[in-house]
Amino acid sequence: MGFGHGLIAGLSALALAGSGSDEIANSGSESIVIKQDTPVELMATAEVTTATAKPGTVFKLRVNRAVLIGGKTIIPVGTLAFGEVTAAKDAGGLGKSGKMTARLLRIQLGDAAIPIEGTVDTKGSGAGSAGVAVLATGLMGVFHRGNNAKIKAGEILTGFVSEDVAIDLLPTPHRHTSTAVPAQ
Amino acid sequence: MIAAFVAVMLAMDGNCPPPLTLPAGLAIPLVTLAPLSSKTAHTGDPIDLVTSDDVVVDGTIAIPKGSAAHGQVAEARSTGGLGVNGKLTLRPLYLTLGDTTVRLTGSTIAKREVPAGTAIGMVTLTPVLSGATATVGAQTVIPAAVLKTVMIAQCPKPN
């Protein structure tokens, strides 16, 4: 029975680490596990548009709301994050709108790269720029170019941590090679 | 996985029931808390949602009525010229049960109102009349479902 309780207690400590996004792995320790599916609110720091972006274009974001675990800020506001354009179709003539798909890649917390997942699908909308051209018949014509798809600067995106990530916070945040909490 | 194992061990010890499994696709009834309009909303705006009924799994209330959930405006298009309708697309994202995040997905339709029982993706509302703003009143039903199977422990966390 004693062994069983000890086993349960030991596993409970690990369970606290991996049981959810709000638990600190070990009290008094600077090691922590950021659980899979922990939501992270991000903000695009610059516009990403089909006018210039192509598949493979990496763009920057910043953490817009701190991620707290056990009441402690683990990922502060302003932490750098990255996304990648996976598909981009520029706007065309006759009002054809641009389309773009992007995915979230990772949060860079010190030396720790925290993989995140999330996708963004955007489509240009509304009437774009209009150019006036004289048709061969002499009639005035109006050519409407569709709007480019874009992720606007300041736009909020929500990502989710894609796997359990064990991190030592001191001296500089860095990631364990496994999610197991190191022994004290 | 470890939490589930511990919970099972404790259950065998008689201390608490085993964890509940919320399977992917489990319907989660959500409603909006505040009105939204394609005229004023912006893509990416967070939206507050709440469960409109208990979610029961295996005879147990897994998610009580009134539980907070989080969503986002996936697309907000104001009315344009030439009779272009406003468009509002809402995406349920997640809710949190204790220490566990439950990912959500919603419904994709293109109507002015969301009928009950509609199924999954993002909720898109487009007014019937051309040139109109898409609006969502408070307490509008947003059908959602669990995106990924997740287990939730039923035992309170130890101090």
Which whole number is the average pLDDT over B2-25?
71
- In this prediction, residue B99 carries a pLDDT of 85
In a domain, A94, yes or no: yes
| Under 8 Å between Cβ of A158 and B93 | yes
pTM of the model as a whole: 0.74
**Which amino acid is present at B107?**
S
What domain count does chain A have?
1
Please state, in angstroms and rounded to a whole number, the distance separating the CA atoms of residues B14 and B9: 9
Structural domain includes residue A184: no
> By residue range, what is the domain housing residue A58?
34-175
**pLDDT: which is higher, B53 or A92:** B53
d(CA B77, CA B86): 5
List CB contacts of B128: < 8 A, sequence separation 6 or more: B111, B112
Residue A51 CA to residue A45 CA, distance in Å, equals: 17
pLDDT digit string (tens) for chain A, length 184 residues: 455 554 444 444 444 444 444 333 344 457 899 999 999 999 999 999 998 999 999 999 999 999 999 889 999 999 999 999 999 987 766 667 788 999 999 999 999 999 999 988 888 765 444 444 333 444 444 455 567 888 999 999 999 999 999 998 777 788 876 555 444 4
Subunit contact A19:B158, Cβ cutoff 8 A: no
pLDDT band (50, 70, 90) for residue B131 = very low
- A99 assigned to some structural domain: yes
Whether A119 is in a domain gets the answer yes
Contact A8 B10 (CB under 8 A): yes
In this predicted structure, what is the pLDDT of residue A175?
83
| Most A-contacting residue of B1, B6, B72, B148 (CB-CB within 10 A), to test interface | B6
* Minimum distance, in Å, between the CA of residue A65 and any CA atom of chain B: 12
Distance (Å, whole) CA B78 – CA B36: 12
For residue A139, is it within any domain? yes
pLDDT for A124: 79
Is A28 a member of any domain?
no
Q: Which residues of B touch A123 (CB under 8 A)?
A: 75
Residue B9: pLDDT band (50, 70, 90) is low
Residues in chain B closer than 8 A to A15 (CB atoms): 2-3, 5-6
Domain chopping of chain B, boundaries: 24-149
| Tokens representing residue A47 in the block | 């516009």
Identify the band that residue B107 occupies on the pLDDT scale cut at 50, 70 and 90.
low
What angle, rounded to 10 degrees, do the helices at B2-12 and A2-18 form?
A: 150
pLDDT at B48 exceeding the cut of 90: yes
Q: Which pLDDT does position B138 carry in this prediction?
A: 85
Mean pLDDT of chain B: 77
Smallest Cβ distance to B3: which of A15, A22, A155? A15
Q: Is the pLDDT of residue B159 over 60?
A: no
Q: How far is A13 from chain B (nearest CA, A)?
A: 10
Residues of B in contact with A156 (CB under 8 A): 44-46, 72
Which of B81, B99, B158 has the CB atom closest to A127's CB atom? B81
pLDDT value, residue B15: 74
CA-CA distances (angstroms) from residue A23 to A6, A67, B64? 21, 12, 22
The band of B29, judged by pLDDT with boundaries at 50, 70 and 90, is very high
Q: State the best of B8, B22, B96, B101 to mutate against chain A, taking most chain A CBs within 10 Å.
A: B101
Chain A: give the shortest CA distance to residue B24, in Å: 14
Q: What is the CATH number of the domain that holds A111?
A: 2.40.128
Q: How many other C-beta atoms can be found within 10 angstroms of the C-beta atom of residue A3? A: 7
More confident site: B71 or A139? B71
Determine whether the interchain pair B101/A20 forms a contact, defined as Cβ–Cβ distance below 8 Å: yes
**Topology at the third CATH level for domain B24-149:** Lipocalin (2.40.128)
Would an 8 Å CB–CB cutoff place A37 in contact with chain B? yes
At residue A28, the pLDDT reads 47
